Chains A and B, each alone.
Chain A
């Protein structure tokens, strides 16, 4: 039905070119960071814009991965991400399931959940509660205070409500308790949804910077994002990586270390991105449906 006049052809071409330029603006920083991280310092200094390394050098990566601080922060972050995501999924799925059932006090509980999306006590009272519950300077401070994202809870509740109630009926007639129904029927049915929520929670943990800065002051527990800020934004690559130990000798130039550190920290995100992409459009749409 669309007419193919010259005007439309020009419009289409301009549109395609503009979109390609926008995409390039998103990709260029990654390409540049990638190629500098693998380049020798000489090549880096000599060329203005480096998009492909002239000679491939792994010094920066070797230096970062053999330092005491960075691998330790990777381990801490992997630990927090896995443990935190398990806690997120357990807390969110159990509560979301109960809220999807005709349970006593459902309206009150829903109101209390929704209210926290509109008003929160703020940083200081939350900080004091974390302190009083003894979580300060433990990695649980990065996990328990964010155990449930109210938005995810509501979306997951919507999802559970979409499961036909005949499932519950059938299970009850077969003599299953509510807990058995949840564990043996509802959860297995929800595997794809759990995977999607798990991915989003995991990315949140991996990228979280502020909780670590707020609640942890022991450098041994610093997460990747904290280390990364010290290396790149504060511009102290070698002393941060040495982590209090004597400065390592033969450090590669700061720029290549900084670029390599950025790439290492986004590698897990890039790896899960295809799976994320499969889910997120659906997730955003689910969330926009009124509860």
Chain B
């Protein structure tokens, strides 16, 4: 089924005869390399590009029995449904709100931690701290949320401590008000250490002469940080912030899916989880695909826009 996806060789015409022959010669010369690339090419065609043709079901009323092209064509009907469905609007709001919280609270913390690590002069101490703070990045979300649940459930460690000092237990996992703070807190715990790596690399590139000059001028450590360190990593911060803004519609699928329960579904459901529930659990393939496509297209525009912005800021851009 992948074979017919191959771009067929262009039909020879009199004018392009020589070009065609050149192409054939090139193909012949590179045949070993192309053979080597075959698994990779097939992978991208089947699992990345074939699904893009499957997006056609966002424009019809797909039923598995009538197939991709046999189902009733509804044009933009599914998309109109997106904006009249209050549940979808709520889900979009949740997605943006969680992303906003991540950017405000989880984004700056690795910068602060990187500055703190950079100020450590004892290399052994620095290495030990780094070893510990990078570790959570390599744990699965099931493990991180599992530990979180064990600590926060009604008879978990935190509530036992609260009760033992005479305070009432807090329903962290069932009260929807705690859902978003918990999501952000888990991301901070898991990814802060890992997030420092890129800033530490930028900090390592700062010219030490600048600090010497600053000390000569009588600048203390705070002023050195403010006037030398931060300006030298400004471009890294701006690039990463802009990229983060480009992915505001991604709010951590696996994490949120695992944290959802009947109590918090209203505040916690985001675009990705919504697509899962609609498409996989309720088999409303067309509507779920339309929501996914909407997210994909807006995401693409945001990333391109973010990249454009980065270039406007005089940075190199990423793509």
Chain A contact residue count (CB 8 A cutoff): 92
Q: Are B193 and A26 in contact (CB under 8 A)?
A: yes
Which of A58-66, A190-198, A265-273 lies at the interface with chain B? A265-273
**Interface flag for A71 (CB, 8 Å):** no
Taken together as a complex, chains A and B put the C-alpha atoms of A288 and B317 apart, in Å, by 11
Q: Are B149 and A118 in contact (CB under 8 A)?
A: no
Taken together as a complex, chains A and B put the C-alpha atoms of A153 and B48 apart, in Å, by 14
**Interface flag for A125 (CB, 8 Å):** yes
A interface, over-half SS: helix
- With contact pairs A26-B193, A233-B145 given, residues A179 and B32 touching in the complex (Cβ less than 8 Å): yes
Q: Are B147 and A109 in contact (CB under 8 A)?
A: no
Q: Are B146 and A232 in contact (CB under 8 A)?
A: yes
Q: Which residues of A contact B157 (CB under 8 A)?
A: 32, 48-49
Q: Which residues of B contact A104 (CB under 8 A)?
A: 23, 26-27, 30, 34
Q: Are A118 and B117 in contact (CB under 8 A)?
A: no
Q: Are A94 and B316 in contact (CB under 8 A)?
A: no
Q: Which residues of A contact B117 (CB under 8 A)?
A: 19
Q: B211-248 interface mask toward A, CB cutoff 8 Å, 1 = contact, 0 = none?
A: 11001000011000000000000000000000000000
**Interface flag for A145 (CB, 8 Å):** yes
**Interface flag for A246 (CB, 8 Å):** no
Q: Are A290 and B318 in contact (CB under 8 A)?
A: yes
List residues of A whose CB falls within 8 A of some B CB. 1-3, 5, 7-8, 11-12, 15-16, 18-20, 22-23, 25-27, 29, 32-33, 48-49, 90-92, 94-99, 101, 103-104, 109, 112-114, 116, 118-130, 133, 144-145, 147-148, 153, 177-179, 182, 203, 206-210, 214, 225, 228-229, 232-233, 235, 255, 258-259, 262, 265-266, 269, 273, 276-277, 280-281, 284-285, 288, 290
List residues of B whose CB falls within 8 A of some A CB. 1, 23, 26-27, 30, 32-37, 39-41, 43-44, 46-52, 54-55, 57, 113, 116-117, 119-121, 125, 128-129, 131-136, 138-143, 145-147, 149-151, 153, 157, 160-161, 164, 189, 193, 197-198, 201, 211-212, 215, 220-221, 253-254, 257-258, 272, 275-276, 279-280, 285, 288-289, 292-293, 295-297, 299-300, 303-304, 316, 318-319
- Sorted nearest first, the 10 A-B pairs with minimum C-beta distance are A95-B40, A122-B292, A125-B54, A121-B51, A207-B140, A125-B51, A232-B146, A98-B37, A178-B32, A124-B279
